[in-house]
Structures are given as C-alpha cells and as structure tokens.
Amino acid sequence: MRVFIAAAATIATAVALPAHADEATQLDRIVISAGKEKVAIETPQSVSVVDQEDLEAAQPTTIGDVLTDLPGVKAIGSERILGESFNIRGIGTLGASDENRLIVRVDGATKFHEQYRLGSFFSDPELYKRVEVLRGPASSTLYGAGALAGVIDLTTKDAADYLQGEDQYAFRQKFEFHSNKEGLLSSSVAAARPTKNLDLLGAFIYRRANEYEDGDGNAVSGSDYEAPSGLIKGSYKFGESEAHKVTLSYQHWETEANDSDYAQTNTSSAFGTVDREVTDQTAVLKYDFQPASNELIDLELFGSYSNTEVDQSDASLGAVSTSQLFADTFYAYETWQARIENTAAFHGDGYENYLITGVSTAFQERTADQPITATNTSGSIDFHPGGESEQYGVYVQNELILWDKLTLIPGLRLDYQELTPAGNLAVSEGVDNTALSPKLAAHYQMNQNWGIFGSVSYTERLPVLDEVYDANSGNLNLDPEKSTNIEGGIAASFRNVALDTDAVTAKATLFHNDIKDLIERENTRSTYFNVGEAEIYGVEFEAAYESTFFFSRAAYTAIRGENKEDGTDLNSIPADELVLTVGGRVPDYDLDFGWRGVMAAGQDKVSGSTSETPGYTVHNLFASWKPSEGMLQGSEVRFGIENVLDKTYREHLSGDNGNGRTFRLTLAKQF
C-alpha cells in the first residue's frame, strides 16, 4: 500500500502548477446521480463527471473512449464497436456473469447484454451530453442490488443544450474525419422551443470506418463498421410555477456487419466470420412533480423500455462445425422498468436533510432461438439459456448535512427476484432470491480547503439466468454474491494559488472490497457454483488545475486483486496507470491546445493461461478553436493526433492492439 501512497504524492506535486478558476475543474462539477446535487469533490463516494466539453474534446468513437481520463474505470474487450465492455475497480470481464456486477444506465434505464465473444453496450457517444461514473458498491442503494463495481450513468442531450436566451430554433451540424480507419462521422442535431413550455430535439448520427491499423501497420480484422443512430426527445412543463414536467425520449442504434469476425472482443481467426444485425433501442417516459410551495415533494415517476437484438446468420464455420455457436441464432434482451421515487427536504438551524424513498420493478425477457433441427429438437442453446427475470426493490437513503461541515448518508435497499426458465430448457423450476444493500457514508469539511470522507457498504449480487440455467441441468441453489466495501480518502480545493484566477482540486481514495460466494464455473461448458472468495483493493487519485492561460489534469489508478481460495492473482485487474494532461489557452483568440500522455505499467500479476502485458507510454496532442464572436461564432474546429509516435501497444484487458498514429479533424457549426 505504501507504493500506492507514494505514487499519489508524486502526482500531487507534479500537478500543483498554475491554472484557472473561471473554468470548473472536473472535481468541481455537479454530481446529480448520488443524492442531493453537489460538486464531485464534496461527495463521500468516488464519483467522476464527464461533461459535454469533455465528450467533444475526446473525439470518441465509443463510450469507452471518454472514460480514459478517469481513475478506476476502463473499457475492456476491443476497440471494435461490437466488442466493448467495462471494468470498474478490477471488476468486469467478458465472461457472462460479470455484466451484472456493474450497472450501465441510459437516461435512468438500466442496460444489459451478454453474449459469447461480443461486447455488452452498443450506442454512439454523440448522443450523450454527460457521463457519471460512481465507483464502488455504495451506489447499490439507489441503483439496484449487485453493483459490486459501481455504475456508469449516461444522459442524452436536450434541446436546452442548444437553445440560448429567447432562441426558438437551433441546428448544429458536425463532421469528423480520422485517418487511421478512414473514418467519418456526421452528426445533425435540431432543437426547437415552439412555446416556452415545450422543448423538442431530434438527432441523427452516421458513423463509418474501415479496419484500423496498429503501430506496426497491421490491420485489426473485423474492426470496420457502419452504424447509424438517432435520438428523439421532448419535454413539456405545465401547472403553477411549471411544477409538472413530462419527458419522453427514444434512441435507436444499429449496425449490419456482414462477413465480420465472429469474435469481436479480440482477434481470433479460429471462429471464422458471421453476418450480424445488431439493434439497440431505449425509450424513456418520465414525470416530475416539484411544487415550489412544498419541499417535502420532489416526485419522479419513471418508466422505460429497452431492447437489444442480435440476429446472427451464415457463419463461415457453420457448415463444418456441429457447435451451436455457429448456427443461425436470434438473441434478444427485452426489458421493462418502472420506478417511483421522492425526495423530501427538511431544513432547520444548522442542518439540512434530504430523504429519498423509492420502489422499483423490472421485467426482462432473455431470448435465444435457433431453428429446430434433427440434432436440436427444442431450439434451445445449452450455453445461452432463455427465460424471464422479475425484480422488485424498495429503498431509502437519508442525507443529513450539519453546520455545512458534516454530511452523513445512511441507506438501505431490499431487492426480490424471480427467475423463470424458457419452456425449451431441461429444467422448468423457477427460483427466487433476495438481496440486501445497506451503507453508511460520511464527509467532513475540515475547512474551506480540506475534507475527509469514508464509507462502509454491503451489497449482494443476485444470480442471473445464464448462471442458474442451461439446457442440461443448471444450478437452482446458487447463493447471491456478497460484497463488503470499505473506502476513505481526502479531498482538497484551493483558489488563487499562484494567480488571482486559478484553482487546484484533488481527491485521493483508498478502498478495499471483500467478495464472497463468487459465482464461477470451470469452463464455458460447465455449470456455475458458489466457489470463490476474493479481495480487491487499491488507490485512486485525480487532480486538476485551471487558470486563464494554463490547465492540467491527472488520474492515477493502482489496483490489486487476489483469489483468497488459492492465493492467485485475479485476471480482471488492470495495469497501474497514470494519465496526465497539460495544456494552454489563448483567450483572445479562443484557442486551447495541449498534450495528453497515458503511461501504463506492465502487468505481471496474472494467473492460469492469462498472458502478461508490457508497459507502454502513448502520447497525444490536441487543439481546438471556438470563435466567440464575429461571423464564425458558433463554429468549432478540433484537431488531434493520437499515438503521436505510432507506438505498438496493448492494454492489459484488451483483446487487440491499440490504434496506431491517428489524425482527427472535427468541424462543427451551430445555426
């Protein structure tokens, strides 16, 4: 642990350089997903916020591209748009059971997808204006049992993001080009406010690219794509003081990948090629009621529909292999969710109190159908069972703030789950489970510059259909996984450090997560059992410096994980990593520019057949110009060079080499 603390101290010294108070640092951004709105540096939980400016600056192809600067979170799998999943604090692999150990939400709707050799999340980053990452199981109270790793919460764009003052209409067109894949992005967004109470937005995104090359000039097979997507969103306010608000949104993403690699999470010619049509849909209806005259009512009624479909056919190995992997198959995850939540505010001399209570329900149907043949008379798939999952939850969280210094947040959640197998499985018996998720978090602001925080949380991850059932026997007696997490740290914020208009913020967190009754299996064909116990611990450090003419950021992560049954290292642990950004501004000319370096240590803490990976350093350059006046006001030009030295490297949890040198150019204009 001493090496973690020493490294964090070294980074803190390096980051304490001049920088800017007019620009909010990443730790000064408002957090909206962890209870009462507050800046990230004042939360007792480890939270990072990526805002619209960060999303634009990253020039991302996938959501994983915007997470690079954040401590404790990684995109894993591959850079193919069908091969990406996530890892938070060393939890998250491409195995079936790991998708339920962290929660991904879009506008409040929980997303879930699991399929062999395929990623877990399909969408376009151009649809979003905000990403919040909540690390650790304390988030289970509000988001649902089983968030052993944490939560990735995404928010789509709104018309208000484009309409200013008395504007009634706005249109923004954006084009982006990148050299490595000969990639192209076109983003068209129209916003309207025909009346003062009605906001409307429509967006159409088109993204395509050829296969990208690594630093050695080798093309990564199957990384080409063509993916259109869109978003329709509207909101209407009504009633006295506009206390009522109804929001409706629908987003759609699709791709048709013909003769594409079967294995999308890594390069493996052994699986041949396949035709896939992948479609992802999310629809959300939300009603908010917040009367100005009654602080005891801040009510949200929420409903959502989510559907991810994969239609797979014409596998090149289908004619020569009897494996069900290569048969024509239709996979789908269709989910309906509902939630009622209220926040009641109490105020008095020296205290504020915010009581959140809620109930939730979710129904998911998992489909995996193949044609009935002489060798498959049921149409079932032994490695991907179908079925239904029903879940009900009730939760309460209270946030008490005393004397503007001490914040105490106890919380408790209870979830009940019923699983029912599809009719074509050998096992027909349903199972039910319950999960408990208590927590206690605290933050103490010692003075205007320093704060300390800590939390203790417990959650249970309920088994999913894939673990309980298979076409042969399954295991109806699986217990929930159990996670006990302890974390604590210190936060600092300074203004007018070296200049009259600069700011420095920093936050360091130590955590220890003990996980029992791990649900595992010996291989991809065997039954799941509760066999394991593991511990994961580490340090996260993030800091930022802002001034009128300079800025810098740092994010450092070091995580260790051990299988306590046999003392071996966990293979889901990312390499130690430091990300540094240093840049400058020329305000008179609306220019920003800088350097960003990603420095990863070698990872030799592996077990079994998992390979070690060497360390690497990747250099990136960026610049942007956003005229604030004149004929070009509303325009935006961004230029970036990724992997300037054309380094050949591979992230430890990635199945492929990273991009070689890539030039990116973005041109945008709002009318």
User: Residue 107: which CATH number?
Assistant: 2.40.170.20
Type and span of the H or E element at 357? strand 351-369
pLDDT of 37: 58
pLDDT at residue 350 greater than cutoff 90: yes
pLDDT at residue 469 greater than cutoff 60: yes
Residue 391's alpha-carbon distances to 420, 480, 589, in angstroms, are 12, 14, 55
Task: Give dist(CA 129, CA 52) in Å, integer.
Answer: 5
pLDDT band at 19 (very low <50, low <70, confident <90, very high): very low
Tens of pLDDT, residues 545-557: 999 999 999 999 9
pLDDT of 452: 96
Query: Residue 642 is part of which domain span?
Result: 2-160+168-670
pLDDT band at 294 (very low <50, low <70, confident <90, very high): very high
Mean pLDDT of the region 361-376: 83
Mean pLDDT of the region 531-549: 93
pLDDT of 98: 60
Task: Give per-residue burial for 99-120: e unless 16+ CB within 10 Å, then b.
Answer: bbbbbbbbbbbbbbbbbbbbbb
pLDDT of 666: 98
pLDDT at residue 194 greater than cutoff 50: yes
pLDDT band at 528 (very low <50, low <70, confident <90, very high): confident
Ranges 29-38, 248-257, 290-299, 460-469: which has the least confidence: 29-38
Ranges 95-109, 355-369, 537-551: which has the least confidence: 95-109
Spacing of C-alpha 622 from chain mean position:
24
Type and span of the H or E element at 257? strand 244-261
Tens of pLDDT, residues 42-80: 788 888 999 999 999 999 999 999 998 999 999 998 888
Residue 642's alpha-carbon distances to 66, 226, 577, in angstroms, are 14, 22, 18
pLDDT at residue 3 greater than cutoff 60: no
Mean pLDDT of the region 152-168: 95
pLDDT band at 378 (very low <50, low <70, confident <90, very high): low
Percent of the chain with pLDDT over 90: 73
Mean pLDDT of the region 328-347: 95
pLDDT of 38: 54
pLDDT of 637: 98
Count of the separate structural domains present in the chain: 1
SS3 for 64?
helix
Mean pLDDT of the region 120-129: 96
pLDDT of 29: 63
**CB-count exposure of residue 515 (10 Å: 0-12, 13-18, 19+):** buried
pLDDT of 609: 86
Task: Give dist(CA 111, CA 281) in Å, integer.
Answer: 10
Ranges 172-176, 234-238, 319-323: which has the least confidence: 319-323
pLDDT band at 181 (very low <50, low <70, confident <90, very high): confident
pLDDT at residue 32 greater than cutoff 80: no
Tens of pLDDT, residues 471-514: 566 889 999 999 999 999 999 999 988 888 899 999 999 999 99
Token code pair at residue 52? 């619209």
With CA atoms as reference, report the closest residue to 301 among 246, 253, 235.
246
Ranges 91-105, 130-144, 563-577: which has the least confidence: 91-105
- Average pLDDT over the chain reads 90
* HEC readout, 153-212: EEEECCHHHCCCCCCCEEEEEEEEEECCCCEEEEEEEEEEEEECCEEEEEEEEEEEECCC
Residue appearing with tokens 């009719």: 423
Mean pLDDT of the region 217-228: 93
